[in-house]
Chains A and B, each alone.
Chain A
């Protein structure tokens, strides 16, 4: 029997590093040009969790925007999890990520949500305060990641997989 597959949508403002996170995590089949043409790029990753069966994350990297439009809403359909991505150096991107989360709840009321605050390698320029992240951690899992160095990337996706596996 094949490993169960789950649809995971990557949401976040433009330039927060969603595509870089996916590229760090998986070996892409398709070119990034689909993001600018179709508005989405799909990749998959087989995940083996300790003590649990394998599963497959099908990652829908949706082109960056600060609010959901109709095509993006269509792409969200049937997703089991959301990986929200914000740029630590731009506090507005965190607001956008949270806005996207709120908007997606109309389509995906039960989807798992994980927040990745990216660009940890530029932590000295972060605008997002640690207290803000601490406050957010009370509502959803928050990971500080760096697509450049790879820090926290595996952990963020593994958390998504763990929560999907129940």
Chain B
């Protein structure tokens, strides 16, 4: 029976293969039996198959629903703190690949999408650059007329570079952030310095990487020529490396440094190698990093300072104008000194000309002068005029002694006429001669015979326009005394004490004082006989140079000096006229006496 057959335990030996078709035919039975048979034979597999089919259907349904659920699922995951990094990590690679593929396949779309973004960015960058340029130009223009601008212009002129270059030099900011002194043999840091305020960094690692990069560049592109990494730039930050046989110097710089910084780095490397040579042979290269001199020289601030100092002379593309400026200044100083001396010479010559023009009996026709060498005075001189020696000697012309080239003539000056009349008429001591407005005045006493002769000849004296006489015949003691007093007083008009400067008497002054003292004593004696009271005053006088206040002070000083000198000689009754000018006294450096009758007694 099929049942028994079927009822055989699984795994037990079955009938031979030749018997199988018969068994199967017998096994063909009604449907329920067949179904039961299938259940017995394939029940487990059928259930597994059904479960698998259901699972597949479920997965396919889930797959179909995935696009609809994915956004919500992603949003849910992004809201979760733990899910967000997982989403990012999961999407990073596919998104990157997708972007790469999109760039390859849809370049135009990307260009279209980025163009609205890139355009404003580029315009903004250009605008920033232009704004910076305009700021610099504004600075240049604004500084053109300021003290700073003028200083910059002077600096540009001295250095022989354009003004704009000096302006940009001062306006372009740069800074040195880090300085590394690196042992070239192993890339180790020998010294490191940073600008203040910067965060700390791993100097050893940076120096090592810099050395490794240099080696990499050298091995890669240096070739046999032994090239080296001299600089690297990223944006406005750059690294400059200066190579030496034993050490390298690296500067991390921001901004736009001047080329003088590179030159300064070369100098520093040379200085450091010089100090390395001075180290003992067994000394470690690290010792150079501890050298105070090296540390000071490698401070960023010191490098900035020395670069700025080196900028001006090193930037000059033409020879410095400093020496030329010094020569110009020297020439100007010499020219100024010459002009000053020439002006002083002219002033002194003019003063001499004025004194000569004012000198009675001298007619100045001209002065020939070679500055500081010689001076010749040309003119006409009356023989009866007062000699010009004192005037010429008083000219302050340095070592030049004026020479006089004069011809004779007859002068009509009152003083000269008086001297001429005195010479021609030879009056007795009791007679006084005075000329005012070319009118000859005769006073005093004289013998009648002389009076008669004098009155007859006086009108013939050259220059005399008229004669007035108050002469009294001699023999009257009162009259004689009065006449002699008048004569003595009249003689004082030509007598004066000469001075060199201020109250410094000139040679011969003492003799004049002695004469004045003697005449004062004589007047004192005569005044008692003549029964008159006489006021004697000492006056100072000055030449026409100098200011009025100074001249007044000098006049007072000279009057006081004369009064004191007379008092020292026993002539004390002399009044000091202070700043007053003596009546009829010419402009000259002197002091003189004047007397007036203040009372007549019966």
Measured in the bound complex, the distance between the Cα atoms of B202 and A7 in whole Å is 14
B447 at interface by CB-CB < 8 Å: no
CB-CB nearest in chain B for A74: B215
Contact (A30, B219) CB under 8 Å given A5-B189, A58-B204, A78-B186: no
Measured in the bound complex, the distance between the Cα atoms of B189 and A36 in whole Å is 25
| Interchain nearest-CB distance for A5 vs B (Å) | 5
| Interchain nearest-CB distance for A44 vs B (Å) | 4
Find out whether the CB atom of A75 lies under 8 angstroms from the CB atom of B205. no
Find out whether the CB atom of B204 lies under 8 angstroms from the CB atom of A1. no
Which B residues, 297 to 346, have Cβ-Cβ distances below 8 Å to chain A? none
CB-CB nearest in chain A for B215: A74
Find out whether the CB atom of B209 lies under 8 angstroms from the CB atom of A39. no
CB < 8 Å: which of B188, B206, B216 contacts A5?
A: B188
Find out whether the CB atom of A71 lies under 8 angstroms from the CB atom of B204. no
Contact (A60, B212) CB under 8 Å given A4-B286, A5-B189, A77-B186: yes
Contact with A along B199-214 (1 / 0, CB 8 A): 0011011101100110
Find out whether the CB atom of A39 lies under 8 angstroms from the CB atom of B189. no
For residue B186, which residues in chain A have a CB less than 8 angstroms away from its CB? Answer: 7, 77-80
A139 at interface by CB-CB < 8 Å: no
Find out whether the CB atom of B219 lies under 8 angstroms from the CB atom of A58. no
B498 at interface by CB-CB < 8 Å: no
A38 at interface by CB-CB < 8 Å: yes
Which A residues, 119 to 141, have Cβ-Cβ distances below 8 Å to chain B? none
Measured in the bound complex, the distance between the Cα atoms of B216 and A43 in whole Å is 17
| Interchain nearest-CB distance for B203 vs A (Å) | 8
Measured in the bound complex, the distance between the Cα atoms of B215 and A60 in whole Å is 13
CB < 8 Å: which of A2, A30, A56 contacts B209?
A: A30
Measured in the bound complex, the distance between the Cα atoms of B219 and A56 in whole Å is 28
Find out whether the CB atom of B219 lies under 8 angstroms from the CB atom of A74. yes
For residue A58, which residues in chain B have a CB less than 8 angstroms away from its CB? Answer: 187-188, 204-205, 208
- Residues of B in contact (CB 8 Å), total 22
CB < 8 Å: which of A6, A44, A80 contacts B205?
A: A44
Measured in the bound complex, the distance between the Cα atoms of B215 and A38 in whole Å is 9
Which A residues, 34 to 57, have Cβ-Cβ distances below 8 Å to chain B? 34, 38-44, 56
Which A residues, 64 to 116, have Cβ-Cβ distances below 8 Å to chain B? 70-71, 74-75, 77-80
Find out whether the CB atom of A42 lies under 8 angstroms from the CB atom of B185. no
| Interchain nearest-CB distance for B483 vs A (Å) | 115
CB < 8 Å: which of B188, B206, B219, B286 contacts A29?
A: B206
What number of A-B contacts does a CB cutoff of 8 Å give? 68
Measured in the bound complex, the distance between the Cα atoms of B204 and A42 in whole Å is 8
For residue B213, which residues in chain A have a CB less than 8 angstroms away from its CB? Answer: 38
CB < 8 Å: which of B183, B212, B289 contacts A42?
A: B212
Main DSSP-derived SS at the B contact region: helix
Measured in the bound complex, the distance between the Cα atoms of B208 and A41 in whole Å is 8
| Interchain nearest-CB distance for B105 vs A (Å) | 28
| Interchain nearest-CB distance for A103 vs B (Å) | 17
Find out whether the CB atom of B183 lies under 8 angstroms from the CB atom of A78. yes
CB-CB nearest in chain A for B203: A44
B290 at interface by CB-CB < 8 Å: yes
Find out whether the CB atom of A42 lies under 8 angstroms from the CB atom of B208. yes
Find out whether the CB atom of B204 lies under 8 angstroms from the CB atom of A5. yes
For residue A29, which residues in chain B have a CB less than 8 angstroms away from its CB? Answer: 201-202, 205-206
Measured in the bound complex, the distance between the Cα atoms of B202 and A38 in whole Å is 19
For residue B188, which residues in chain A have a CB less than 8 angstroms away from its CB? Answer: 5-7, 58, 78
For residue B212, which residues in chain A have a CB less than 8 angstroms away from its CB? Answer: 34, 38, 40, 42, 60, 75
| Interchain nearest-CB distance for B215 vs A (Å) | 5
Find out whether the CB atom of A75 lies under 8 angstroms from the CB atom of B215. yes
CB-CB nearest in chain B for A58: B204
Measured in the bound complex, the distance between the Cα atoms of B284 and A80 in whole Å is 14
For residue B187, which residues in chain A have a CB less than 8 angstroms away from its CB? Answer: 7, 42, 58, 60, 78
For residue B201, which residues in chain A have a CB less than 8 angstroms away from its CB? Answer: 29
Find out whether the CB atom of B205 lies under 8 angstroms from the CB atom of A42. yes
Find out whether the CB atom of A41 lies under 8 angstroms from the CB atom of B286. no
From B204, B215, B286, residue with most partner A Cβ within 10 Å? B204
| Interchain nearest-CB distance for A129 vs B (Å) | 36
Measured in the bound complex, the distance between the Cα atoms of B215 and A6 in whole Å is 19
Measured in the bound complex, the distance between the Cα atoms of B286 and A43 in whole Å is 19
| Interchain nearest-CB distance for A166 vs B (Å) | 14
Contact (A39, B216) CB under 8 Å given A7-B187, A58-B204: yes
| Interchain nearest-CB distance for B550 vs A (Å) | 77
CB-CB nearest in chain B for A44: B204
For residue A70, which residues in chain B have a CB less than 8 angstroms away from its CB? Answer: 219
CB-CB nearest in chain B for A57: B204
Measured in the bound complex, the distance between the Cα atoms of B286 and A5 in whole Å is 9
CB-CB nearest in chain B for A62: B212
Find out whether the CB atom of A71 lies under 8 angstroms from the CB atom of B205. no
Contact with A along B263-299 (1 / 0, CB 8 A): 0000000000000000000000010011000000000
Measured in the bound complex, the distance between the Cα atoms of B144 and A138 in whole Å is 81
Find out whether the CB atom of B185 lies under 8 angstroms from the CB atom of A78. yes
Measured in the bound complex, the distance between the Cα atoms of B205 and A60 in whole Å is 9
CB-CB nearest in chain A for B186: A78
| Interchain nearest-CB distance for A29 vs B (Å) | 5
Contact with A along B230-246 (1 / 0, CB 8 A): 00000000000000000
Which B residues, 50 to 102, have Cβ-Cβ distances below 8 Å to chain A? none
Using a CB–CB distance below 8 Å, which chain A residues touch chain B? Answer: 1-2, 4-7, 29-30, 34, 38-44, 56, 58, 60, 70-71, 74-75, 77-80
Given A30-B209, A77-B185, list of 15 further CB < 8 A pairs?
Answer: A5-B188, A30-B205, A34-B212, A38-B212, A43-B202, A56-B204, A58-B188, A58-B205, A58-B208, A71-B219, A74-B218, A78-B183, A78-B186, A79-B186, A80-B186
Using a CB–CB distance below 8 Å, which chain B residues touch chain A? Answer: 183, 185-189, 201-202, 204-206, 208-209, 212-213, 215-216, 218-219, 286, 289-290
15 contacts between A and B (CB under 8 A): A2-B289, A7-B186, A29-B201, A34-B209, A38-B216, A42-B205, A43-B205, A44-B204, A58-B204, A60-B187, A70-B219, A75-B212, A77-B186, A78-B186, A79-B186
